[in-house]
Structure 1
């Protein structure tokens, strides 16, 4: 839920940190049901999603289709396991239902489907479509004089797509100050390192040249994320333009054995390893508190 203006920054950071920790446990529990999946991306992006759902987004858990809600669009459909964890922790999806992930007749398929899942605004699949939809949605909300904001989550691999950059230009052209994009820069794609597939740098300069308010932060630093989203909410409106937060993340973040695993785009994890992952996650979390 969007933060209360009376809540101290330290309290907000503590809340988001705990939210992300719980999310990571949900991800591991869901992943174990299938023995594989896009676990690394979900762990790496957990702090971003936790900041959105635990601190920024305006929603009603019991009424996911509430007209006054902020819209969160998951452009990267294969990150669905991470968003399900956020929806579960936010109370939009029951925690028990998370364990149906990827099963027959589940409302939580391995790739996101808006027709199945409460709180899922768009279906994911081929990359490069999310920001174009977000631009249209933000424009439509503005025409309706709605105060709702649109948040769009992209991967760095989506910056390979021409349609993404068309949407970037369109958002600036229309002055969509109600649109905030976040890019998960984990430097890895299905076919290898992002820099080897299509180098996107200098990515900050490219977004800035297209007229966006740009920030680049450590996407696994909750304090930096909270500050960046606060800046985005204030500066994009003040300047009448869209905002993007470029988030450098580490695949598998919080679970040591997964952070350094090869072939990390789609992980296969052996049965005895899942509890080790959970133990490492708990140890990492408690080490931060020490």
Structure 2
């Protein structure tokens, strides 16, 4: 897909995500809105995947380490053809396989269960190392939240990625500056992230993570070292009253707010 088409798909995914969270009465809409441009670029441009063969051995691997934004992943997987689009309406309902965190045993296209923060990147390092050991050509991508980078397991994984020369690994940090309950700066200030990751021997690119052209260029980059993308994003991106507001980590819009958000996202289509 070209950039303008990816931007259109991202807006459609935002609108469907909003509807799903509102109907379910639960979700993590702020972080979903910030990461949707990345998910769109991955699934509609970058990843080598086959929806009709979700376990194809040559597929690229993607790990959503910030698993609480599962609804955005489900909407993306549905639009890409991994699951029926109408199934999104079952999000969080009894007996639905679309749980609050993605489950690889239930949902086609999900590579590993995520939710406990700090686990996705270590798993992705293992996937990338396995490809090196077996001579496989697939690339591994992983998305973490910036609050999640407070977990020490991530820094051990970053150290291992450099040590093993995993040039087939791309880490994208969704740097929306907020976590549950507070800003990153007030909780455990990690910024600036770039020099810290570079100190471990990684190549690092900083981008506007809500600008599709920058997202695509960064994800398609290939170098000789593991690559980290620090994506500066807006929590609640695309919805005026949600943007950069900590309350919207897992707050659900009321009917009036929902109608305002639908109008704003629909006008952008």
Q: TM-score, with normalisation over the residues of structure 2? A: 0.96
Report the equivalent of 2:170. 180
Contact 1:36 1:269 in 2 (8 A): no
Q: Please state whether the residue corresponding to 1:165 is helix, strand or coil.
A: helix
| Unmatched tracts of structure 1, length 5 or more | 1-10
| Residues 1:47 and 1:132: Cα distance change in structure 2 (over 3 Å) | same
Q: TM-score, with normalisation over the residues of structure 1? A: 0.89
Task: Tell whether 2:100 aligns with 1:116.
Answer: no
CA separation in 2, counterparts of 1:186 and 1:207?
17
Report how far residue 161 of structure 1 moved: 0.8
The equivalences for 1:53-132 within 5 A come to 53-132=43-122
Equivalent in 9, 31, 52 of residue 19 of structure 1: 9
CA separation in 1, counterparts of 2:173 and 2:83?
25
Report how far residue 35 of structure 1 moved: 2.3
Report how far residue 228 of structure 1 moved: 1.3
Contact 1:188 1:194 in 2 (8 A): yes
Name which of structure 1's ranges 123-132 and 168-177 shifts more when overlaid on structure 2: 123-132
Contact 1:35 1:270 in 2 (8 A): no
CA separation in 2, counterparts of 1:35 and 1:262?
18
Report the equivalent of 2:19. 29
Q: Please state whether the residue corresponding to 1:259 is helix, strand or coil.
A: coil
The equivalences for 1:1-290 within 5 A come to 12-231=2-221, 234=222, 236=223, 239=224, 241-259=225-243, 261=245, 263-283=247-267, 285-286=268-269
Report how far residue 269 of structure 1 moved: 1.2
CA separation in 1, counterparts of 2:192 and 2:256?
42
Q: Please state whether the residue corresponding to 2:171 is helix, strand or coil.
A: strand
CA separation in 1, counterparts of 2:257 and 2:183?
25
Does 1 or 2 have the higher relative contact order (CA < 8 Å, sep 6+)? 2
| Unmatched tracts of structure 2, length 5 or more | none
Q: Please state whether the residue corresponding to 1:216 is helix, strand or coil.
A: strand
User: CA-to-partner distance for each residue in 1:58-110, whole Å, 9 max, x for gaps?
Assistant: 00011111111100001111010111121112111111001100111111101
User: CA-to-partner distance for each residue in 1:167-188, whole Å, 9 max, x for gaps?
Assistant: 0000000000110010001111
CA separation in 1, counterparts of 2:170 and 2:41?
13
Contact 1:35 1:271 in 2 (8 A): no
Report how far residue 230 of structure 1 moved: 2.3
Q: Please state whether the residue corresponding to 1:206 is helix, strand or coil.
A: helix
Q: Please state whether the residue corresponding to 1:108 is helix, strand or coil.
A: coil
| Residues 1:150 and 1:260: Cα distance change in structure 2 (over 3 Å) | closer
Contact 1:113 1:123 in 2 (8 A): yes
CA separation in 2, counterparts of 1:265 and 1:273?
15
